[in-house]
Amino acid sequence: MASLALSERSPLSGLAVPGRYGRRDGAAALVIEERAMAAASVIARRGKAEACAAAIAAGGPAAFAGVGPGRWIATAEGADPATFIAELRARLNPVAAVIDQSDARLVLRLSGPRVRDVLAKGVSIDLHPSAFKVGDVATTLVAHIGVQIDMLDDAPTYLVAAPRSTAGSFWSWLTASAAEFGYEIVPRS
């Protein structure tokens, strides 16, 4: 009998093949690495938005990005999704609903000397270092696709998350935008 066991599959399966692409002279101007990320939607319970915001502000291992009134996306890189969700639910249960989104997103770590130039071709926010700093998180559109962008360091390095259902379209935009500079895809971690 055939096994019906499910296995994890990258949103970019068959699209992102490790290697060097686009312009070949010099070092790669953009480095693309697909990442695994625990993620959850956090929605404040009726009348509990302020209490939820206070609980979120109290700290913890997650990064939170506001996506609307009383709504956040919580993420933790490298965390076990089941443990992450259980801990978030235990912490926020009295004030918020927590919905696992770990398999619903494409998450890419983007770095390199021309990363801002590539992103500027589709991002509608100002990524200049004086406007978007380390630790900043924004939800915005990139080529008409809703994304979350986190600035991780001054290199600069960004974490970009998009809905899994848009992975192919986002990938097509990103690689077309990066081709003139040259880019490298590193194996998924």
Q: What is the pLDDT of residue 112?
A: 97
- For residue 189, pLDDT beyond 70: no
* Strands across the sheet containing 183-186: 19-21, 183-186, 30-34, 105-111, 157-163, 145-153, 137-142
Question: pTM of the predicted model, to two decimals?
Answer: 0.84
The domains found in the chain, sorted by start residue, are 19-36+104-186 (3.30.1360.120), 37-100 (3.30.70)
Lowest mean pLDDT of 22-26, 49-53, 58-62, 164-168, name the range: 58-62
Count the alpha carbons within 13 Å of 44 in the hemisphere toward its beta carbon.
18
pLDDT in tens, 29-84: 999 999 988 999 999 999 999 999 999 888 777 888 888 899 999 988 888 999 99
Neighbours of 17 (CB within 10 A): 9
pLDDT in tens, 151-161: 999 999 999 99
